[in-house]
Every structure is written in C-alpha cells, then in structure tokens.
Amino acid sequence: MLVLWLSSAVLTYYLAFRFANYAYDYSLMDSPHDLAGQIVVLNGKASLDLPLSARQIFLSDKMDTIYYNVARRDRTVISGEPDLPLPDVIRKPGASTVRNGIFRAQKVRIASLSYLPPGLSPDQSVLIQVAETLNKRRRMAGQIIATMLLPQLLLIVLAALIVWTGIGKGLAPLEQLHRGIAARSDRDLSPVEEANTPQEVRPIISEVNALMNRLEKALEVQRRFIADAAHQLRTPLAGLKTQTSLALRQAVNQDTQHSLAQIDASADRTIRLVNQMLALAQVEPGSDRLLELKPLDLGRLVRETVKEWVPAVIKKDMDLGYEGPNSSVMIDGDAVRLKMMIDNLIDNAVRYCPKGSNITTRLEEADGSVTLTIEDNGMGIPPGERDAVFQRFYRVPDNPIPGSGLGLSIVRDIVTSHRARISIETPMGHSGTSVKVTFP
Amino acid sequence: MRILIVEDDAVLADGLLHSIKAAGYVPDLVTTGEDADAALKEKVHDLVILDLGLPRMDGFQVLERLRKRKSRIPVLILTARGALEDRVTGLNLGADDYLSKPFDLAELEARVRALLRRAYNKNSNELCLGELRFDTRARRVTLGKKPVEVSAREMSVLEILLIRAGGVVSKEQIMDSLCSWNDDVSDNAIEVYVHRLRRKLGNAGIVIRTIRGLGYLMDRSHNE
C-alpha cells in the first residue's frame, strides 16, 4: 500500500508541477508581449526602448531570476542576455511559445515571441525571449503536493488502521480457536466449540469434530478389547494358579517341585501383566472423560494405603514408614487412580529392594503445592534410564527382577491426568530411588 | 462342613474342589447359576463360594435370590472383573467377602476358615494370636496356660492391637479406645503401655512393631 502511495505521490508531483507551470506560464507569456510594447523602430531597424528603471522593474522577481533577450533575424542581439538559447523553430510573428530550457546550468522556462514591429518587413521580425528560473513553480508544486498528500497520507493511515483492526477482530476468534486447539493435550478428542466461530470456518470445524468423534470411537473399541481380553484371561489364570498351588503341596520329588515352582512363578508374572494391562486401560488418557478431580485428603489416602502394605512388607523383612503431617492434606484428585498410583510405587519399591531395606513415604506441603515422595535404599535406577522407564513395557537392561514394564507407565498416566509432575531422583545421603510426585 | 462351589471354569472348579476337600470340608460343585439356586434351596450347605461371571443367571442373581429367602449362609464371591463396583454391589447384595481372580489359594482357604468361624462361633468372646488368649468378656489374658498381669489401660491397648492383629493401628485409634477413662491419654503414655506390653509378651513369640509415622502392629514374631 505504501508503494501505491509513493507512486501516487510521484505522479502527483508531476501533475502539480504541470499545473504550476500552467499557472506561471500565463504571466510568463505576457512578458515578451510587454517587451514587444517597448520595441521602437529607429533608422529602419527595431530596437528596444527600456529605461533602466523599467528594466529593473521588469527583471525584479522575489523568487526567480529573469533573463531576456531581444534579437533580430540576423541574430544580432538588440538587448538582454546574448547567450539565451534559441528555440529550435522560430514561428511566424505573433506566435508565442513556451518551453523548458537550460541557461547557465540552470533549468529555466523560456517564453518566446516572434514580433514584427509595425512598418518593418517580415524579414525584420525580432525574437523576444523571456526566461525565468523554476523556483516559483517548484514552490507551488511543493505546496500543492503538501496540501494534497498530507490528507492523503492521513487518510491512508486511517484506512489502514481501520482495516487492521477490522481484520484483527475478524481473525481474533480464529486465533482463539487456533490457540485452543494447539493447547490441547495430544489425546484430547473432545469436540471443538462451534458457537463463537466465524461462519466461514464452521463447516471445517464441524467436519473436524466428526472426525475426532470417529477417532474416539475407534480408540474406545480398542480399549474395550484390551480390557475384555484381560478379563477373559483372568479365570483361566486363576485355574492355573490354583492347580499349581495344589500340585506344589503334593510334589513328590525335588525335580517336580522345582518345575512346579517355575510354573508358579511364570503364572504370577502373567497374572501381574494382565492386571497391569487392565489398570493401564483404565487410567489411559482418553478414558479421561470419566475422570473427575474432586477435593480429597491425600494425607489420609497415603496413610491408609501405606497401612495396607505394612503386613506384606514385614513378611519381606523390610521397613515401611510414613513421614508427614497427621492431618489432612487436600488436593483435587481421583481417589481410585491415586490409590493405584501409590500402590504401584510402593510395589516397585518392595520388589526392587533386598531384604532389610527401608522404604519411606513422605508427604510435604510447600508453596501451595504438595509433594509425595516414595523413597527406598534399594537397587536404584541409573540416571540414564530415568526417562525411559516410564515407557510402556520398558525394562532396564539386565534387570534381574521380573516385572511387566507397565507399572511406571500407569503411574505416569495418572500423574498426567492430575496435572502433576513426577521425577526420579537419588535420595540424599544414600543410594536407592526417590520418586517424587508434585501436585499443583 | 458342606461347602457349595459355584464355578463354570473346569480347571478352576477342579482346583477348588480339591482344595476344599483337602482342608477337611465336604465340597459340592455346580456350574450354572440355576443349578446353584436349586442347590441352595435345599439348605444343606454351610458356606457358598460363588463365581460372579456365570452363564444363564449370574452370581448376583443367585445371591439376591438367596438373601430374599432370608438365608444367612456365608457367601464368598469370586470375580474376574475386580472393579470396585463389583465388590461394592456384591457386598451390598449380601455377600460376606470377595476375592478377585486370580487369587492366592492359601488366601482363599484362610478366608473360608474365617467366614466359617465368624458364622458358627458367635458365642466366642476370645481373641487369639499364637499362644495369646484374650477373653473379652471376663477381661482375662493368658499366655499358653499362664495368666498375664495387665493393668486396665494396658488391657485396652492390648485388646485393640489384638483385634487388628497383623494390621497397623494408629496412635489415634489407641487413644480413642482409651477414651472411656476420665483422663486424656498422652502420646508418651501410649508409648509406655506398649513398652510394658512388649516386655510381658516378648518371650511368647508375640511382637509389637513400631511402624514409622503410622502406629503399631501386633503380630507373631517370625523365625528369622
């Protein structure tokens, strides 16, 4: 738009100059006529009767310098500047022309008049030229432009402003839409709000919503399948486990006993895997729809869950304790999922710690956030593996303890759905693992 | 004791049958809900192990109909679903306990024993743990054959620890159980009582563990 304006400015300048010329040419063209009035015939030749005072008046001009020249046909100069350039074509007497020219390295405007003094023959006509510099014209052109362009500029700026805000307002809902969608978690498939969007975009949004709906249904079908499959596996596994337990009690010889023990261990692993898969299907983001974060007492939940674990831990000669307030610690959360998370974390600590280890659950409140820490002095997780362990089915290489690889994935999904953060660290002062979950 | 097993999975049913028999009870097996309903109407059983996921009339219906007949027979439900709703619904409908599949066989047997004891030993006022016997009505404590001297307060502490033997009892819970006395009991006082009880019971294989931040736990001491 600026380019347009600049070119318009240039054009306007030329036009303005042209009009300025028209304006001043009128009076310039009069000047040769004035001079012609002063031509007298002396001794059969034309000559100029221009007293000094008259000349001074003639030549005076506030802004420009005026030159003149009166010459006979034979090129003899009667008066004025001798080197004023001649026009290319000399017209018949009576015709005056005006043209641009250069005189003494200045641009000038020259009016020429061919004049035949009365009583003389045509070959005795004289050429009267008056030239003036262009200052007046330039100034007028400048003024024209200024008066024209300034409002033009203002108008343009105003128009630009109006268009800008107009477009901005029009695009604002789109921008909002864009930000809203971009801010979604990568599993959020809820429909996009159609109500406040501009009409042009509505068909697109409606299609997007339909697409997400189809996607959601497909994912739901998949989830259901996993959940159903896991359930279906449980009864045969129960049969397997029961028969193995019975057989172990009756085992006749060591070899049979050994094999049965292996079968039993494998059955346990399978059972654990099935349980974890089911748990994961329950807490996966996407099943988020059923998630409601309500105020709950995390302190009580932690204490109660830890109490449930104590007997099992004692059987393994480990020490499980709680550090933290005995009062309520309120956060917004889903009790079932949080219990699952705590169970998984304590279970990990129990399985990865040798006999005689200490496991501590700690609850701290600071700066409006609540941190739950499960700390043990067992095997620990190498720093390089601390991000990878959250992946599904990931097991640290050379990990001797059997496990499904899903425990921390479940924990991470629950943490995410509560908008909390989780980190794995080394405890202060001793080796082992410290898992911290911080709630906003 | 006759126990009715309602389970449609052949392998699991077989395992349950053998386990119950080995435990000294008399098992009967049915594989459908209708058969279970019919069998229960005979009123010859002392306990029912009921699987919920049955074909044709599921476990819940059997349970409902049983309780509608005003039967008080103890019911242990088995479920593959393990969801909270199943458990709550089952208990609400009148089940006495629930176990999710797959389960530990020893756990099943223990729960069956506990259910039978609860149902058929209503007159017992005795709490036991190993050699320790606590007669709640007579307010008497014995270790093996010998009586144990305990103060009234120590007895209250012992009682609540014994009722929940194997589980964690918080100091608050202990304090609450002592509330009937006029004075308030302080933290330190509780520690003192526990300490005394430890001394009196320590030689009989009974241990009171301190669980950091949570309270105490009474149990039989293991052979380490």
Using CB atoms, which residue from B81, B105, B213 is nearest to A323?
B213
Q: Quick one: pLDDT at residue A15?
A: 84
* Record: contact A245-B78, CB cut-off 8 A: no
> Using 50, 70 and 90 to split pLDDT, how confident is the model at B222?
low
* Residue A221 to residue A208: CA distance in whole angstroms: 20
- Does pLDDT of B183 surpass 70? no
The reply to whether A246 touches chain B by the CB within 8 Å rule is: yes
CATH class of the domain defined by A23-135 = alpha beta
Q: Which residues from B are below 8 Å from A241, CB to CB? A: 102-105
Give percent of chain A with pLDDT exceeding 90: 7
* Record: contact A303-B22, CB cut-off 8 A: no
- The model's pLDDT over A369-401, given as tens digits with 9 standing for 90+, comes to 899 999 988 888 888 888 888 888 888 887 878
Selected residue with higher pLDDT from B208 and A82: B208
Q: What average pLDDT does the segment A280-291 reach? A: 68
Q: Which are the contacts of A136, defined by CB distance < 8 A and separation ≥ 6?
A: A20, A24, A61, A63, A64
**pTM metric for this prediction:** 0.61
- Does pLDDT of B5 surpass 90? yes
Q: Which of the 8 DSSP states describes residue B202?
A: G
Nearest CA to CA, how far is A320 from chain B (Å)? 7
Task: Name the residue ranges covered by the structural domains of chain A.
Answer: 23-135, 199-283, 291-439
Q: Quick one: pLDDT at residue B224?
A: 39
Return the CATH number of A199-283, one of 3.40.50.720, 3.30.360.10, 1.10.287.130, 3.40.50.300.
1.10.287.130
Residues 323-362 of A with CB under 8 A from B: 323-324, 326, 336, 360
Using CB atoms, which residue from A239, A275, A360 is nearest to B12?
A239
Residues 74-103 of B with CB under 8 A from A: 78, 80-82, 84, 100-103
Lowest-confidence pick of A38-42, A168-172, A186-190, A199-203: A186-190
- Reported ipTM: the value is 0.75
Q: Which domains does chain B have, with CATH numbers?
A: 2-120 (3.40.50.2300), 126-220 (1.10.10.10)
Selected residue with higher pLDDT from B32 and A115: B32
Topology agreement, domain A199-283 and domain A291-439 = no
- Does pLDDT of A288 surpass 60? no
Q: Which residues from A are below 8 Å from B78, CB to CB? A: 238
- The model's pLDDT over B33-79, given as tens digits with 9 standing for 90+, comes to 999 999 999 989 999 999 988 877 888 899 999 999 999 899 999 98
Selected residue with higher pLDDT from A174 and A15: A15
- The model's pLDDT over A156-197, given as tens digits with 9 standing for 90+, comes to 888 888 888 888 777 777 777 777 777 766 656 677 776 766
Using CB atoms, which residue from B14, B106, B213 is nearest to A324?
B213
Kindly indicate whether the domain formed by A291-439 is annotated with CATH number 3.30.565.10: yes
The reply to whether A234 touches chain B by the CB within 8 Å rule is: yes
